[in-house]
Amino acid sequence: MTSLESATNPAHEVPDVSQLVVGVLGGTGDQGRGLALRLAKAGQQVIIGSRDTARAEASAAELGVGVRGADNATVARESDVVIVAVPWDGHAATLTALRGELAGKIVVDCVNPLGFDKQGAYALKPEEGSAAQQAAALLPDSRVTAAFHHLSAVLLLDESVERIDTDVMVLGEDRDATDVVRALAGRIPGMRGVFAGRLRNAHQVEALVANLISVNRRYKAHAGLRITDV
């Protein structure tokens, strides 16, 4: 595909998301804080959440760039798009508690169910098939998508790194919702959102993080992904 064809391909078109408020559940963890920082630096309105309001506010103040902190329920209510970046062992409980607040919202699940042993990281397979499918089952009134799985928290939080050259695989049933998430990914310098299928295909995307952890350990790197010929 030539650059001209890429520029005129309707599949590459994304909506204007500059006025949307993005909330991050688990926003005091490294992944959540990193995503909040990058999106805020790109001009997005961002709120990070925690079960502990004071902790969320302190983390937001540390990040700066206009990020606000609040309890998880407030974040869910006041955001248009909510990124779920909580630990896997708290995933179901967090979403169940926020089902009402998340109704009607675009929910972006970036949780990777992983186990660790002496041989390193390995993928877990939830009963529902994936973390994203569990989210969809728990949040029937939300527009659940899956994205941002393969990003290095170290790079996200390192402000000396101006560009993070990687693609973000975006999955979901609602094409308008996945387009919004693709657009958010594209606001971060170096990133591009790429539609990668329905939620039934989320398990292998989540599981691939175990491979990237192995790559990073072997090569002392912060590896990402690029999709070719798109």
Nearest to 113 by CA among 105, 102, 121, 123: 123
Per-residue CA distances from 22 to 7, 151, 163 (Å):
27, 18, 20
Per-residue pLDDT reduced to its tens digit, 149-171: 999 999 999 999 999 999 999 99
The amino acid at residue 11 is A
Whole-angstrom distance, CA of residue 186 vs CA of residue 5:
19
- pTM for the model: 0.94
| Tokens (6 digits) for 105 | 């919202």
Show the low-confidence residues of the chain (pLDDT under 70). 1-7
Whole-angstrom distance, CA of residue 207 vs CA of residue 130:
9
Q: Please enumerate, as own/partner, the contacts of 156-164 that have beta carbons within 8 Å and a separation of 24 or more.
A: 156/30, 156/31, 156/33, 156/34, 156/35, 156/37, 156/38, 157/30, 157/33, 157/34, 157/37, 159/37, 162/189, 163/189, 163/190, 164/38, 164/188, 164/189, 164/190, 164/191, 164/224
Residue 192 β-bridge partners: 167
Rg (CA), the chain: 17
What is the structure's pLDDT at 7? 57
Q: What is Dmax (Cα atoms) for the chain? A: 51
Whole-angstrom distance, CA of residue 227 vs CA of residue 49:
32
Residue with tokens 């994205």: 147
Whole-angstrom distance, CA of residue 178 vs CA of residue 198:
10
Whole-angstrom distance, CA of residue 1 vs CA of residue 9:
10
Per-residue pLDDT reduced to its tens digit, 58-103: 999 999 999 999 999 999 999 999 999 999 999 999 999 999 999 9
**Burial bucket for residue 121 (CB in 10 Å: 0-12, 13-18, 19+):** middle
Other beta carbons less than 10 A from residue 175's beta carbon:
9
Q: Is 45 helix (H, G, I), strand (E, B) or coil?
A: strand
